[in-house]
């Protein structure tokens, strides 16, 4: 069977100009993130925070958050502080993940990692600073037309997604699994549902909550985001094998080198692509209820499975 990098999309999704949408949304997010940190005394920490936050990146998480807010009937302005917070949390997790005590990486987003430039001590603090700022901006910068109980729900969900019940828990099991070749599919799913899918889910669901999502909306958004979360990680594992350092902006082939159990190591590359494909189809189905309004989120799901970095 020939493995292709793309698969059929529904008619409306195919007509949608995803690349110009992504470009425009990336610019909006970059601008908002740039405005969110001013360099004051002690300059070193603000510079270290800005270094990683503004180093590029696809901005998938904030874009998902904004798109969900719009689909549910909210605006970009209502969701932008939450979208920025999600990118800050994601960036801090990358800074900490790259530290010698964790994955020990020299490159990220095409640049030297934070600790390579600022030292391990400042890199840890830059991550901490971003994490604290994320919550500060959701609480203080969400516009007044968003009811405060929605803001509280967002803070609760973000906290849960990044703590021991989310990213931190997934990272602990990932670290424990290092060097073990008998990792089960159940453990692998646990790691990635927590390390990767939990934050993507929070971005989507929080974007919806900001806009006034009902409990039925939240259920649909949860199923959509769990599917794209797993698809995202399967593709990440494939790209570690098929991508180059230049394309990925970080070291390639790390999983093989560390003999890590990954989706392609369990299923093979072709089967892994098919599974990612099916997850994207399932994710898109969850949003059919919203008709044309769901097209950006459906196109983003396809992007996640077709990306090359």
What span, in angstroms and rounded, lies between the C-alpha atoms of 247 and 300? 20
- Nearest of 275, 279, 249 to residue 263 by alpha carbon: 275
Give residues 218-257 in contact with ligand GRG (rule: CB under 6 A): 236
Asked if 167 interacts with ligand GRG (CB under 6 A), we say yes
Asked if 197 interacts with ligand GRG (CB under 6 A), we say no
Q: Identify whether the C-beta of residue 269 lies closer than 8 Å to the C-beta of residue 238.
A: yes
**Considering beta carbons, is residue 54 or 168 the nearer one to ligand GRG?**
168
Asked if 114 interacts with ligand GRG (CB under 6 A), we say no
**Considering beta carbons, is residue 52 or 74 the nearer one to ligand GRG?**
52
Among 171, 225, 265, 272, binds ligand GRG (CB under 6 A): 171
**Considering beta carbons, is residue 212 or 269 the nearer one to ligand GRG?**
269
Point out the residue whose Cβ comes nearest to ligand GRG: 57
Give residues 36-95 in contact with ligand GRG (rule: CB under 6 A): 57-58, 60, 90, 93-94
Q: Identify whether the C-beta of residue 77 lies closer than 8 Å to the C-beta of residue 143.
A: yes
Q: Using CB under 6 A, which of the segments 72-80, 115-123, 167-175, 278-286 binds ligand GRG?
A: 167-175
**Considering beta carbons, is residue 213 or 260 the nearer one to ligand GRG?**
260
Pairing of strands 107-108, 111-112: antiparallel
- Nearest of 240, 259, 249 to residue 113 by alpha carbon: 249
**Considering beta carbons, is residue 32 or 213 the nearer one to ligand GRG?**
32
Shortest distance (Å) from residue 28 CB to ligand GRG: 16
Angle at 212 between CA 148 and CA 81, to 5 degrees: 55
What span, in angstroms and rounded, lies between the C-alpha atoms of 122 and 255? 27
Residue 18 CB-density burial (10 A; 0-12 exposed, 13-18 middle, 19+ buried): middle
What span, in angstroms and rounded, lies between the C-alpha atoms of 301 and 225? 9
What span, in angstroms and rounded, lies between the C-alpha atoms of 169 and 73? 33
# residues contacting ligand GRG (CB under 6 A): 18
**Hey, what are 245's tokens?**
């350092």
Asked if 201 interacts with ligand GRG (CB under 6 A), we say no
Asked if 196 interacts with ligand GRG (CB under 6 A), we say yes
**Interface residue list for ligand GRG (CB under 6 A):** 57-58, 60, 90, 93-94, 96-97, 102, 109, 131, 162, 167-168, 171, 195-196, 236
């Amino acid at each position: 069977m020939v493995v292709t990098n793309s698969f059929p999309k529904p008619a409306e999704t195919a007509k949608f100009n995803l690349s110009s949408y992504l470009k425009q949304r990336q610019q909006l997010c970059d601008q908002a993130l740039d405005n969110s940190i001013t360099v004051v005394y002690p300059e070193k920490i603000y510079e270290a925070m800005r270094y990683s936050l503004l180093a590029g990146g696809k901005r998938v998480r904030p874009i998902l958050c904004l798109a969900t807010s719009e689909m549910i009937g909210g605006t970009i302005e209502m969701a932008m502080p939450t979208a920025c917070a999600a990118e800050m949390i994601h960036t801090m997790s990358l800074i900490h993940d790259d530290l010698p005590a964790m994955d020990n990486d020299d490159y990220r987003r095409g640049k030297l990692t934070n600790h390579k430039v600022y030292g391990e001590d400042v890199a840890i603090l830059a991550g901490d600073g971003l994490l604290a700022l994320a919550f500060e901006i959701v609480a203080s910068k969400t516009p007044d037309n968003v009811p405060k109980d929605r803001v509280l729900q967002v803070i609760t969900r973000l906290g849960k997604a990044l703590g021991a019940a989310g990213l931190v828990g997934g990272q602990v099991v990932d670290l424990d699994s290092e060097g073990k070749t008998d990792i089960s599919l159940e453990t692998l799913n646990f790691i990635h549902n927590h390390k990767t899918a939990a934050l993507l889910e929070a971005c989507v669901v929080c974007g919806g909550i900001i806009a006034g999502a009902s409990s039925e909306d939240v259920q649909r958004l949860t199923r959509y985001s769990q599917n794209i979360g797993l698809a995202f990680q399967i593709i990440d594992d494939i790209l570690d094998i098929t991508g180059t350092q230049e394309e990925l902006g970080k070291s390639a082939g790390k999983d093989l080198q560390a003999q890590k159990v990954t989706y392609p190591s369990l299923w093979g590359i072709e089967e892994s692509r098919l599974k990612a494909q099916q997850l994207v189809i399932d994710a898109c189905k969850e949003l059919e209820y919203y008709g044309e309004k769901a097209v950006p989120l459906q196109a983003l799901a396809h992007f996640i499975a077709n990306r090359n970095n």
